[in-house]
Amino acid sequence: FARYAPYIREINRLKREKNAVILAHNYMTPEIYHGVADVVGDSLQLAIEATKVEAQTIVQCGVHFMAETSKILNPSKTVLIPDMQAGCSLAESITAEGIAEMRAKYPGAPVVSYVNTTAEVKAASDICCTSSNAAQIVAALPEDMIIMTPDQYLAQNVAAQVPQKKVVWWAGSCIVHEQYTAKDINDFRALHPDTRIIAHPECPPDVVNASDFSGSTSGIISYVEREKPKEAMLVTECSMASNIADALPEVDFVGPCNMCPYMKKITLEKILWSLHTGTAEVIVDPAIAEKARVAVERMIELSQ
């Protein structure tokens, strides 16, 4: 950590000077998560926190759709992202035309879009969801048939939790979580029968079914903090275990993990540059933002 100290000091000084706060996702590296973040959380928590920010500038340490969501929810603030290339395979998998295609195929069915989408896609959707509230949102809608986009696996995992609904989906996937297979999980369990296996719901359903628990990134953290298993395998992005390992010395984090190449574009050096130069600013067309806000705010209301 010592080699990061000069960056951490300067970033924290600049945050005060520039009246900025850092909202950081749970997948940020430990030096960001513990060293410079003002708020850490999953997608839903970061969206809710964005609505409460009083400082003039938000530096979003996460991926582009998260920065757009902050801008949509708190449009008078300057929202910066330290690397514009921090995308997301799910957000890139669907456009507003794709939403129109699904509506034409399933007339009358409401569109529930994962927050891992662009502002244009949110604007074309009826409501958003995150991994922590997707089943709750789908269950609360009055229609029997529900379109979920763009994550086919989240949709299939939700469909199993809400059997009273007919859920149809877009064929997107997360490049980090789609790599896990049920065979990986079962082989690991055969060798380590006492390890608690915890999967993110962006994993394929057979992976989630082979695991002991599934939840959003913050849901996973809360589960491990509450249960304190002797050994835990987090079937998700690698920084998750690194960020909580020190505070949970009684838990051994074991097994493979996968890096998100988009999340890993955010570094201390780029955060410092972003604060110094006021770049890169995330701009959302106000007309699109207004429609997208309806979908995100409906989600926040229904999750409370």
Nearer to ligand SF4, 32 or 174 (CB): 174
Given a contact cutoff of 8 angstroms between Cβ atoms, the answer to whether 209 and 188 are in contact is no
Sheet containing 127-129: order of strands: 127-129, 111-114, 145-149, 166-169
List phi, psi (to 5°) of 13: -70, -45
Question: What is the smallest separation between the CB atom of 42 and ligand 13P, expressed in angstroms?
Answer: 3
Binding site annotation covers 200? yes
C-alpha distances out from residue 54 to 75, 89, 122, Å: 12, 31, 25
Residue type, 4: Y
Binding site annotation covers 260? yes
List phi, psi (to 5°) of 82: -65, -15
What are the residues facing 99 on neighbouring strands? none
Residue 42 binding: pick among ligand 13P, ligand SF4, none (C-beta 5-8 Å cut-off by kind): ligand 13P
Residue 262 binding: pick among ligand SF4, ligand 13P, none (C-beta 5-8 Å cut-off by kind): ligand SF4
Residue 217 binding: pick among ligand SF4, ligand 13P, none (C-beta 5-8 Å cut-off by kind): ligand 13P
Nearer to ligand SF4, 122 or 165 (CB): 122
The residue ranges that bind ligand SF4 (CB under 6 A) are: 63, 88-90, 116, 174-176, 202, 237, 260, 262-263
For the chain, the residue count is: 304
Q: Hey, which bits of 84-125 come out as E strands?
A: 111-114
Q: 241: number of CA atoms within 13 Å, CB side?
A: 21
Site string for ligand 13P, 154-183 (x = CB under 6 A): --------------------x---------
Nearer to ligand 13P, 64 or 71 (CB): 64
Question: What is the smallest separation between the CB atom of 178 and ligand SF4, expressed in angstroms?
Answer: 9
